[in-house]
Chains A and B, each alone.
Chain A
C-alpha cells in the first residue's frame, strides 16, 4: 500500500531522510519513533508530495507520488501534528469543506455529526466556530476529516498531540478498527506506550535513518523503551 524505495531527502548539509526502504501493507499500523529532527515528518511529507525527494521514490498503491500527485492523494488521509482549520467556520463546516475537497460531496449533515460522535467531539461543540476550539478539539476535527475520507491509507504525524487520555484511548481503538478493515497506517509518534498499543510494527529512526524495525507483538512495554533508548545512545 505504502512503499518507500531508497527514499532520500537532503537539505543542504543535512540528510533529513537517508535511503529509507519501507513497505506497509493493508491492515498494518507502522509507528515511526525517533527524537526531534529524526526525519519522521519528512517521511510523511514525502508520501504527501509536499516536498520532492532528492532521490528514491515514494509509492502509494504502486503509483509514484511525484508523477501521480492527485491520484495518490485519493487513497490517503492525513492528520498533521497541528490541525489548522478555518477559524470562522464551524467544525461541521470545516469537515464539509475538506470532505468536498476529498471528493466526498455526498455526506449529509447527520453523517458529519456521526463522524464527530466517532472521534468524541460533542455535537454542540461541532456547531461552534473553530476559532473557539482547544487544540485537542481541533485535532479531533482533523481525525474526523481523515475518517470521512474513507481512505485506504493513513499518514499520521503525531495525531494524538493535545488529546486528553480518554480521547487518545479512543483514537487507539479507532485505529484498531480501521486496521481491522484493511487500512494501512503510517504514524509518527513520541508515545511509546501508544505505539505498542496500537501499532503492528514500530520503526526507530535516528538522523534520517531507519535503524531498527520491530514487531510489537514480540515486545513487552519495557522492551520497547529499552530498545528505543539504546538506539538513542549509540
Chain B
C-alpha cells in the first residue's frame, strides 16, 4: 500500500466531507473561546486579589480614623478590622477552573472565632463534573468526544453503505490497512486541532512550558485515544452507521452525564456533609457558653493554649477585651473537632472521586486537569489551612496588647502580619490515577486492533 500516494487523496476525501472543515473550525474556535473564558475568570479573580492590599490599607485607615488614637482606642478597633487573605491561582488555573469559581478565594477574617468565618459559604461537591464552566477541560471532556464520534463512527460503514467497499475489497491491498489509514486521518485531524488549541493556550496565557504542560498534553491525548479506540471497537462490530452512532452516543451519555450524576447522588447519600453547619453551631455555642461561666475559668482554659499570658488578671467586675477574645478563641477550640470531621468528610468524598476516576475516563481526565491546574478541593483546603495559621498569627500579634494588666504600648500597625497563599508555589506531581486512563486507552486500542484483524479480513 503506497501511503504517500493515498494520503492526499484520503485527506481530500475526508476534509471535503459534509461539515468536516466546519466542525474542525468550530471546535478550534470553541477552544479559543474556552481559553479566553478561563483567562477572564481567573484574571478577574487576580484583579480582586491585586487590589486587596490597597483595599486593606484604606479599610484600616477608615476604621482607625473612627476611633481615638489611644491604646484603648486601638483595642476598640480590633473588633471591626478585617484582615484580607489571598488565594493566588496557579498559572494553569484558566485551563480548568474547577472549584476555583465556587469557593471563596479572598476571605476577610476578623479576630473573632474563625471556623464559622471559613465555612460561611458552603464548599461544593468535588465529584461534580460541574457543567458550569466552559473551559478547556470541559471542551475536551465533553465536546471533543462528540466530534470524534461524528468523524469516525462511519469510517467503515459509510464505505459499505455508499458501495465503495466492494471495489476496495477487490484490490490486492488488505482492507484493514486502508481502514487504519482512513480512521487514522480522522483521529489525527482532531488531535491536530487539539494540539493547536493547547499551543494557543501556551502563548495566550503565557503558560510555562514545564512538566505540568507535559502532563496535560499526555493525559488529554490519552483521553482522545480512549474515544478513538472505543470508536474502532464499535466499528469492528461491523454494523450500520446509525447503529455505530447510537452506540457511541450511548457510551458518551453514560460516561459524561449518567454515571457522574448517579455518583453525585450516591455520594451525597452515602457521605452526607452536614458538618458545615455543625462547625458554626459548635463554635457559637462554645463562645456563648463563656458568658455563663465564671471569667477565670474561661481564662484558665485560654492559658492552656497560651501560657505566656498566664499573668494576666482578668477584671471580674467589668467587660474586658482580654476576656472577650479569649472567649472567641474557645469558640474555635469547641468547633475544632467538628471542623476536622467536616474536612475529613470532604476529603473522603475526594478519595471516592479518585477511586471512581480509576474507572471512568471522563472523571479521570477532568480530575487530572483540575489537579494539575490546582483548582480542586485539596487546594482550597490548603488555602483554608493557611488562613487558619494567619488568623493565629494575627491573634498572637494582638494578644500582648490585650492580655496585660498595665496600659498597652501603641500598636505598630505597619508590622501587622500579611496573608498570601499561592498555588503556584506548591508542588504538582503527576496525577497517578490517570495511569488507569493510559492503560484503558492502550488496552482498548489493542483489543480493537485484534478484533479488526479477525473481523475485517481481506
Contacts and interface: CB of A to CB of B under 8 A. Distances in A.
Contact of A88 (B12, B167, B174, B178): B12
Interface string B1-42: 110011001001100110000000000000000000000000
Contact of A84 (B13, B162, B172): B162
A71 B174 CA distance: 11
Interface in A62-116: 69-71, 73-74, 76-78, 80, 82-89, 93, 96-98, 100-103, 105
A50 interface: yes
A195 interface: no
B428 interface: no
B171 A105 contact: no
B428 to A, nearest CB: 46
Contact of A48 (B16, B169, B174, B457): B169
A85 B168 CA distance: 10
B415 interface: no
A71 B173 CA distance: 9
**Which of B1, B2, B162 has the most C-beta atoms of chain A within 10 angstroms of its own C-beta?**
B2
Contacts of B2: 100, 105
Interface in B128-177: 162-164, 166-174
Interface residues of B, number: 24
A193 to B, nearest CB: 27
B50 to A, nearest CB: 54
B170 to A, nearest CB: 4
A145 interface: yes
Interface in A173-196: none
B172 A71 contact: yes
A103 B163 CA distance: 21
A70 B13 contact: no
A101 B458 CA distance: 13
A100 B177 CA distance: 13
B168 A101 contact: yes
Contacts of A77: 170
A84 B167 CA distance: 8
A73 B5 contact: no
Contacts, number: 76
Contact of B457 (A69, A93, A98): A69
Contacts of A142: 167
Interface residues of A, number: 32
B173 A93 contact: no
A172 to B, nearest CB: 22
B155 to A, nearest CB: 13
B167 A96 contact: no
A48 B175 CA distance: 13
B172 A103 contact: yes
Interface in A27-73: 48-50, 69-71, 73
A73 B171 contact: yes
B171 A101 contact: yes
Contacts of B1: 100-101
A185 B164 CA distance: 22
A84 B12 contact: no
**Which of B167, B168, B170 has the most C-beta atoms of chain A within 10 angstroms of its own C-beta?**
B170
Contacts of A74: 172
Interface of B: 1-2, 5-6, 9, 12-13, 16-17, 162-164, 166-174, 178, 457-458
Given A83-B167, A101-B173, A102-B173, 16 more contacts: A48-B170, A50-B169, A70-B172, A74-B172, A76-B170, A78-B166, A82-B163, A84-B164, A89-B12, A93-B9, A97-B6, A100-B5, A103-B173, A105-B2, A105-B5, A145-B167
18 contacts: A69-B458, A70-B173, A71-B172, A73-B172, A73-B458, A74-B172, A78-B170, A83-B167, A85-B164, A88-B13, A88-B16, A93-B9, A96-B9, A101-B6, A101-B173, A102-B173, A105-B2, A155-B170
